[in-house]
Structure 1
Amino acid sequence: AQAAVGVCPICKTGEISDRGKFYGCSNYRQGCHFSLPKQWSGKKLPISAIKQLIKTGETAQLKGFKSKKTGKAFSAKLKLVAGKLSFDFN
């Protein structure tokens, strides 16, 4: 088993760990479906960004995302909104 990268920000008791293609909560069978992808908009997410997201709910500015519409690279912060990953362009 992989080492946990942090405590689940949703259920607060499960541990987030590497599940192969994504990071997921150890309380999945108990009904917590929180997970984070390893890749997001064409960018492999660094483990430091995953840890930061889990701990604080957002990341620092990250480079190298790719727009699905235009194919252009862009930078953005990631944040958790109601337990879902989203971009923060502020």
Structure 2
Amino acid sequence: MSINHGVFWPAFSLLTAAAVVSLIWPDWFENVTISANAWILNHFDQAFNLAAFAMVLLCIAVGFSPLGKVKIGGEKAVPMLSRWRWFSIVLC
């Protein structure tokens, strides 16, 4: 398995640094993350709502468009689930 070093190491370093800081200064880390979360939700709440709604519309559009009939696995591949079962799973 090959690792994309340009993607892996920055993400790994940031995650490791956050884990170390949270172990050394847990109260400070908790306050910073709560404050950052509150700021993001206060400033981008509508963007989250619109993005979620857009994704639902995109899934519906792809599901009922000709692209929704594309079979992964070749021409003779048989879907494991019907559209109704996929719809039921999505609702759950």
Measured against the shorter chain, the TM-score band is under 0.3
Higher strand share: 1
Between structure 1 and structure 2, the one with the greater Rg is 2
Q: If the length of structure 2 is used for normalisation, what is the TM-score?
A: 0.24
Where relative contact order (Cα < 8 A, 6+ residues apart) is larger, the structure is: 1
Which structure has more helix as a fraction of its residues? 2
TM-score by length of 1: 0.24
